[in-house]
Amino acid sequence: MIPSLQSISWRSTGLITATYFYFLIFAQFAFLKAIELTGEAASLKLVMGTMGFAGILGSLTSPLFLKHWEWKIVLRIGFLSCGMMAFLSLASWTSAHAWSMIAGGIGFSLGIVTVTLVSQLRNLSGNHHWGMSGGLGTGLAYFTCNVPAVFRASPFDQSLIAGIVCVAAFFGTSIKIESSSIQEMRQSSPEMHAPFVVMLLAFTLLIWLDSAAFFIIQNDRELLGSTWGSDTLLWRNGSVHLLVAVFAGWWLESRNSLSPVFLALGILAVASWLVNDALTREVGGAIYPVGVSLYSTCLVVFPAYWLGHLSLHRRTFLASLLYAVAGWLGSGMGIGMAENLHRVPLAFVMVVLGFTGVVLAHEWLRKYCRELATCTTLLALAFVGSELQGNAVLSSQASISSIHNGREVYVSEGCIHCHSRYVRPSEDDITNWGPQVSYEEALKECPPLFGNRRQGPDLLNVGLRRSRAWLKAHFINPQLLVPMSTMPRYDYLFSDDRGESLIDFLMDPQASAKARYETIQNWNLTYPSDASHEVSNAWKLFQHHCSACHGEDGMGNGEARADLARSPANLRYGPFIYSRDPKEIPRILKFGIMGTDMPGHEYIPDSDIIAISSYVKSLRHSPHSYSTP
Amino acid sequence: MTGPSQSKLIAISLRETKRIALSRRRAKDRILDESIFVPDGANTAITHAFFWMFMANGVGIALAWLLLVPSSGYWMGELTYGRWIPVHLNLHLYGWTSLPLVAWLLRLYAPQDDHPSAAARASVWAWSMSLMVGAIAWLRGETSGKIFLDWIGLARVLYPTVMLFLWSVLFRQWWANRQVPGWAPVVQMVGLLILASVPMAVFWASGREVYPAVNADSGGPTGMSLLGSTLIVVLLLLLVPQLQNRATWGQKLVIPRLCWLTFLFQVGIVMTLGFHHATHHDWHQWLGLGTLASWIILMPLYYRGFLWPPKSMRWQRAMLFWFGLLVATGWLSFLPKVLDHLKFTDALVAHTHLAMAGFVTSFNLFLIGLLAPSSLADHIHRPIAFWLWNGATATYVIVMWVAGAFEGADPSFTIIRGIARELLYAIRFTAGLVLFCVSLIWWRAARSAMIQR
């Protein structure tokens, strides 16, 4: 159900917006920029440390203030103090101590304001929709900060606006509350299924991740540009923040569920991992606002309503603990991590995701605890067993060659599922794939890699049929050299030494070149009774099998030539011009030229060989007059 | 023939007919009254089996798609076709093929007091966990390089460890039931002794240094290896009615005796000809393998002698049909000239799918139909899913056979993708998609049956 405008507490919404706005645009942004502009950038660490320390102090001492004074007075003093700090920062202070003192004031005031506001929010909201107030207040703050005019304003202007907002909030707190509504609200307080400690840990991790990701984005010019670089991006971010925050508020209230907290944790964990890598940074930057808005709404709504069934004193104490530990300490940890490691470590992301998984699946885990215990025990036993076995294997191994490594790569990549390494004692197999190697020899390998499928050629005698350069080019982009090949790309193997090792293994001679040479010389081309169709198809066949290296017009200028050791032959003016043996060109087409980059086309039918051969000859005989169909 | 003797004969004949009819009715009543007791562990194993079938089929259609549109795999980085294949094969073998047999074992060794066994359930979960660890390892490129025996490293130790744990669960249940009168505890103990060797056998066979006898002319298995492995399936088929205690009716002992004698004779052939390297051109090999053809007739006769729940007959007939076809085509494919033509081609893919999607699946569903709670059994026996599955399997097998025949004549048929190849592979993908959808329906049914319990 979507609440009407009248059912939303606009006073609560406004105060939440004011607090978040102050924190986002001033404390986290304009204030630090102002320090940088006055040439005191070196003292930023000190200033931020002071702010964090004062924030913890302010949060933790809030319950004391609330014990002795009325909450409205505390909140007013807090807002007034925040405003004063904003106005004070307008002066161009040149002393690090002065900036630190202001930072202390900001942190302390914010600590008091946040704890007081969230612990009294139910009093402020009355019977209105609390979730929507929290969501809308948070969303509006983020949205306003992303309005280009505000976002691009000078630090001076931003501080000024923040100060004015605080003054407005100061006056916004002086509105009467009906006491009966408080009783009613207390009864309708949602039940909290997870212990407070779990929620505290969840929020700490959230703010930790948020701060780390924010710091990484801020310090990467390219990423900063792709996240907040244009007006369109700013409007997009602002809208996403607003929509997600409102949605989170609605979700929290209508479902009485804290799931958004853990969803936000998952999103932020993934986003902070993605911003580590240049390739995935943009995606990380795009999903980051979603996670931030989700948890920011929860951070307001959770202490206000999920702790609502507790006494005022206890609620305030827990809220102060939440903001001191999760808010200030989590933020400090996140910035520290990003500053020192320049990335969010995968291990940390995994811990966060693991924690999220455990919390979300705790019911399931409780139900299947026996099964899980059994699995864990067996896994541990097997791990010990495999470690012992692995050590025994390692100690028995002699020096490992590149060919051996290549063989491991061959096994590891599952090449046996598409390629055989076994030439059968049949004429066709020997002609196509090279000399046979006896099965006794093959069985000496552990394990023998006979394979049982030929989606591609047999790979026993590759060294007699292909060159290193051709193999490498083919691994990197198979479809460049064999356009209709189903072979996957293995370019990643060349990011380390796996690719070269694999080539070493494939090039390792299994049979003698002499035997292969004899087969090639004894080969007889089978002429089909009617080759007219194939000949008419010759141009197409040439483009398919030859143009990648020799070029579309046979000039030796194909796309793949750069990858080969020597430039491919120019078929119009090249060496074949003087060829007198009619079998030579078909033979080269079929078997390639051993020791060069010219590969064979062993698997294509003789009719196609004849057709391509005719085409190549036609290029030779009339190099200038041949026209493509 | 005289008048009185003729009337006497008619009277005897009528009496015999009445006796058979009565025996059949009693047996039927027994079936109808039989309340199916499904132990908790067996039920879990059935659910997990369907899950792995669904997963394996999902990987299967992804692979079929990659062969049609190879460029769609570029975004997967290192998770290339070759790394997914062992996942597809092994999830089928160690998940879908094995877990129904685990369910059967847990049913056979079930405690008499009907007490739900947490350890049995845990052993099934552990089985699935070991498969998951294996799948992760294969995707990481960790494999022994031996098809269907890819276990290596942690997974190679874990899988037999889980098997040992399952064995200990069975042993515990046997121990609790050992005082039961009759031969059952003795038979079960013999079964346990045989099963005890399986974990070690799997560990040993996964080793890289171990390799079976080779057919030098094809690079594949010898006739005797194929005969030996098929005889294990035959043994299983012979044991199902016996161990399920199915009632017999009107069957003379001659058929079961003939079946067991044939089985022993074939075991004798394997023992005599041995597991040494031999080619398919050796007449001993293809003739020995040819003796399996006897089962095309014997097995249906054998199964006809037992009484089965009427609903289970659909899958039983499918099982016997696919088994017969598997034996017949398997032998034909092994013959000289034929194997020379079909080796390394898609015909092998056809044969594998005939075995797994055709025979194994129908066998499993027949068995699960006997073991599962009625809500799931009803689902399995629904005609739509039955015909969709078998129709898609038949299409798949025929298409791959055709592709294999073309490829045998011209290797470029597969290596260079032409229109004919693309068309056949598109049909194959569609058939795979149907298999995937049906397996999803079955898995969902198994899950809801589990939840209802």
Burial class of residue B267, CB neighbours in 10 A (0-12, 13-18, 19+): middle
Computed on alpha carbons and rounded to an integer, the radius of gyration of chain A in Å comes to 36
Task: With CA atoms as reference, report the closest residue to A466 among A429, A422, A516.
Answer: A516
Chain B residues within 8 A of A443 when measuring between CB atoms: 211, 214
Q: What are phi and psi of B306, to 5 degrees?
A: -115, 155
Instruction: Please give the interface size between A and B, counted as residue pairs whose CB atoms are below 8 Å apart.
Output: 175
User: What pLDDT, on a 0 to 100 scale, did the predictor assign at position A128?
Assistant: 67
Name the band, by pLDDT with cuts 50, 70 and 90, for residue B234: very high
Q: Are B453 and B121 in contact (CB under 8 A)?
A: no
Same domain, B342 and B314: yes
Longest Cα–Cα distance of chain B, Å, equals 89
Per CB-CB distance under 8 Å, the chain B contacts of A446 are 208-209
* DSSP-assigned letters across all residues of B304-363: HTB---GGGHHHHHHHHHHHHHHHHHHHHHHSTTHHHHHTTSHHHHHHHHIIIIIIIHHH
Write out pLDDT tens, residues A74-120. 989 999 999 999 999 888 777 888 888 999 999 999 999 999 998 88
Same domain, B257 and B379: no
Residues 108-127 of B with CB under 8 A from A: 118-119, 121-123, 125-126
Q: Does B132 touch chain A (CB under 8 A)?
A: no
Q: How many helices (H) and strands (E) does chain B have?
A: 19, 2
Contact A488 B81 (CB under 8 A): yes
Residue A257 one-letter amino acid: S
| DSSP structural state of residue A41 | G
Q: Average pLDDT of B162-172?
A: 95
Q: Which residue of A has its CA nearest to B82?
A: A414
In A349-378, the residues whose Cβ lies within 8 Å of chain B are: 368, 370-375, 378
Q: What is the length of chain A?
A: 629
Q: Which residue has the tokens 């910035």?
A: A335
Q: Categorize the per-residue pLDDT at A187 as very low, low, confident or very high, splitting at 50, 70 and 90.
A: very low
Residues of B in contact with A417 (CB under 8 A): 81-82, 85-86, 147
Domain region containing B448: 308-453
Q: Which residues have C-beta within 8 Å of that of residue A251, sequence separation ≥ 6?
A: A131, A257, A259, A260
What is chain B's length?
Answer: 453
Quick check: A615 contacting B, CB < 8 Å?
Answer: no
Of B273, B302, B331, the domain-final residue:
B302
Report pLDDT for B204: 95
Residue B199 Cα, gap to closest chain A Cα (Å): 13
Does the pLDDT of residue A125 top 90, yes or no?
no
- Ranking A8-17, A186-195, B307-316 by mean pLDDT, the lowest is A186-195
Q: Are A121 and A136 in contact (CB under 8 A)?
A: no
**Residue A604's beta-bridge partner residues?**
none
Are the Cβ atoms of B348 and A453 closer than 8 angstroms?
yes
Six-digit token string for B192: 């346990």
Q: Is the pLDDT of residue A623 over 60?
A: no
Q: What is the ipTM of this complex?
A: 0.89
Whether residues B292 and B314 fall in one domain: no
Q: Last residue of a domain, which of B302, B327, B362?
A: B302
Give the Cα separation of A492 and A168 in Å (integer): 59
Q: One fold for both A403-515 and A528-621?
A: yes
- Across the interface, of A414, A442, A454, the residue whose CB is closest to B86 is A414
Domain containing residue B163: CATH number: 1.20.210.10
Residue A304 CB partners (closer than 8 Å, separation 6+): A118, A119, A121, A122, A125, A130, A134
For the ranges B33-42, B105-114, B350-359, the lowest mean pLDDT is seen at B33-42
Q: At A628, is the pLDDT very low, low, confident or very high (cuts 50, 70, 90)?
A: very low
Q: In b/e form, how buried is each residue of A484-517, taking b as 16+ CB within 10 angstroms?
A: ebbbbbbeebeeeebbbbbbbbbbeebbeeeebe
Q: Is B147's CB within 8 Å of A415's CB?
A: no
Q: Which two tokens stand for residue B358?
A: 């055709």
**CA distances in angstroms from A485 to A103, A259, A461, A539, B71, listed in the order given:** 65, 48, 20, 19, 10
Is the model's pLDDT at A3 over the cut of 60? Answer: no
Asked if B161 and B42 sit in the same domain, the reply is: yes
Confidence of residue B297 (pLDDT cuts 50, 70, 90): very high
Fold of A5-360: Growth Hormone; Chain: A; (1.20.1250)
Residue of A453, A458, A490, A612 best to disrupt the B interface, most CBs of B under 10 A: A453
pLDDT of A275: 77
- Flag if B126 and A371 touch (Cβ within 8 Å): yes
Write out residues 539-578 of A within 8 Å (CB-CB) of B.
544
Q: Which amino acid is at A106?
A: I
CA distance A422 to A412: 19
Distance CA B100, CA B368 (A): 7
Q: Is the pLDDT reported for residue A179 higher than 60?
A: no
Q: B122-140, pLDDT tens digit by residue?
A: 999 999 999 999 999 999 9
Name the residue of chain A whose CA is nearest to B414's CA. Answer: A455
Residue A508: enclosing H or E segment and its boundaries? Answer: none
B343 within a domain of the structure (yes/no)? yes
Q: Which residue of chain B comes nearest to A409, CA vs CA?
A: B141
Chain A interface includes B163 (CB < 8 A): no
Give the per-residue pLDDT at B4.
55
Q: Which two tokens stand for residue A193?
A: 């299924």
Give domain status of residue B30, yes or no: no
Question: Is residue B279 within 8 angstroms of chain A, CB to CB?
Answer: no
| Token pair recorded at residue A560 | 């793949």
- Residue A26 DSSP SS3: helix
Strand-pair partners of B306: B248
B417 to each of A464, A479, B237, how far by Cα in Å? 25, 12, 41
A195 touches chain B (CB under 8 A): no
What are phi and psi for residue A75, nearest 5 degrees? -65, -40
pLDDT of residue B439: 96
Residue B172 lies in a domain: yes
Better pLDDT: B226 or B33: B226
The DSSP output letter for A437 is -
Distance of CA A258 to the CA centre of its chain: 26
Q: How far is CA B222 from the centre of its chain?
A: 21
Question: Where among B169, B184, B211 does a domain terminate?
Answer: B211
Instruction: Check if the beta carbon of residue A160 is closer than 8 Å to that of residue A34.
Output: no
Q: What is the DSSP string of A559-572?
A: GGGGGSSSPPP-TT
Please tell me which residue of chain B has the smallest CA distance to A441. B216
User: Using one digit for the tens of pLDDT, what is the confidence trace for B330-376?
Assistant: 999 999 999 999 999 999 999 999 999 999 999 999 999 988 887 88
B125 interaction partners in chain A (CB closer than 8 Å): 368, 371-372, 374-375
Same domain, B52 and B200: yes
- Contact of B79 with chain A, judged by CB distance below 8 Å, is answered with no
Please indicate, yes or no, whether residues B80 and B161 belong to a single structural domain of this protein: yes
Chain A CB contacts of B340 under 8 Å are: 424, 426
What residue of A is the nearest CA neighbor of B160? A382
Residue from A280, A367, A386 whose CB has the most chain B CBs within 10 Å, to mutate:
A386
CATH number, domain of B366, equals 1.20.120
B180 assigned to some structural domain: yes
Q: Does one domain contain both B275 and B346?
A: no
The string of DSSP codes covering A46-115 is: HHHHHHHHHHHHHHHHHHHHHHHS-HHHHHHHHHHHHHHHHHHTTS----HHHHHHHHHHHHHHHHHHHH
Min Cα distance A525 → chain B (Å) is 15
Smallest CA–CA distance from A392 into chain B, residue: B153
Of A382, A448, A605, the CB nearest to B412: A605
- Is the peptide bond preceding residue A190 cis, with omega within 30 degrees of 0? no
Structure confidence at residue A629 as a pLDDT band (50, 70, 90): very low
Chain B closest-CA separation from residue A390 CA (Å): 7
A620 vs chain B: nearest CA distance in angstroms? 27
Q: Is A452 on the interface with B (CB under 8 A)?
A: yes
- Tokens standing for B99? 């877990």
What is the band of A332 on the pLDDT scale with cuts at 50, 70, 90?
A: confident
What are the φ/ψ torsions at residue A207 (nearest 5 degrees)? -70, -35
Q: Based on the domain organization, do B119 and B233 belong to the same domain?
A: no
A537 lies within 8 A of chain B by CB: no
Q: Touching check for B268 and chain A: CB below 8 Å?
A: no
Q: Which CATH architecture has domain A528-621?
A: Orthogonal Bundle (1.10)
In the three-class reduction of DSSP (H, G, I as helix; E, B as strand; rest coil), residue B214 is classed as strand
Does A7 or A280 have the greater pLDDT score? Answer: A280
Which CATH superfamily is A403-515 part of?
A: Cytochrome c-like domain (1.10.760.10)
Q: At A183, list the tokens.
A: 């009783």
Q: Which residues of chain B have a CB within 8 Å of the CB of A457?
A: 411, 415
End-to-end C-alpha distance for chain A, whole angstroms: 68
pLDDT band at residue A432 using 50, 70 and 90 as cut-offs: very high
Respond yes or no on whether the N-terminal peptide bond of residue A447 is cis (omega within 30° of 0). Answer: yes
| Cβ pair A344, A272 in contact under 8 A | yes
Query: Is the Cβ pair B71, A482 closer than 8 Å?
Result: no
Is the per-residue pLDDT at B414 higher than 80?
yes
The answer to the question of residue B19 being in a domain is: no
Domain limits of chain A?
5-360, 367-396, 403-515, 528-621
Q: Best interface-test mutation with A: which of B344, B349, B421 has the largest number of A CBs within 10 A?
A: B344
pLDDT of the residue at B2: 47
Same domain, B231 and B200: no
The pLDDT-based confidence of B207 (bands split at 50, 70, 90) is very high
Cα separation, A280 vs A272, whole angstroms: 10
| Same-domain check for residues B319 and B452 | yes
Backbone angles phi, psi at A291, to 5 degrees: -65, -40
In chain A, whose CA is at the least distance from the CA of B165? A378
B18 pLDDT more than 60: yes
Buried b (16+ CB within 10 A) or exposed e, A276-290: beeeebeebbbbbbb
Domain count, chain B: 3
Minimum distance, in Å, between the CA of residue B150 and any CA atom of chain A = 10
According to the model, what pLDDT value does residue B121 have? 92
Question: Is residue B348 domain-shared with residue B404, that is, in the same domain?
Answer: yes
Identify whether the C-beta of residue B412 lies closer than 8 Å to the C-beta of residue A479.
no
- Is the predicted pLDDT of residue A182 greater than 90, yes or no? no
| Shared-domain flag, residues B187 and B315 | no
Q: Which of B76, B136, B416 should we substitute to test contact with A (largest number of A Cβ atoms within 10 Å)?
A: B416
Q: What single letter denotes the amino acid at residue B276?
A: H
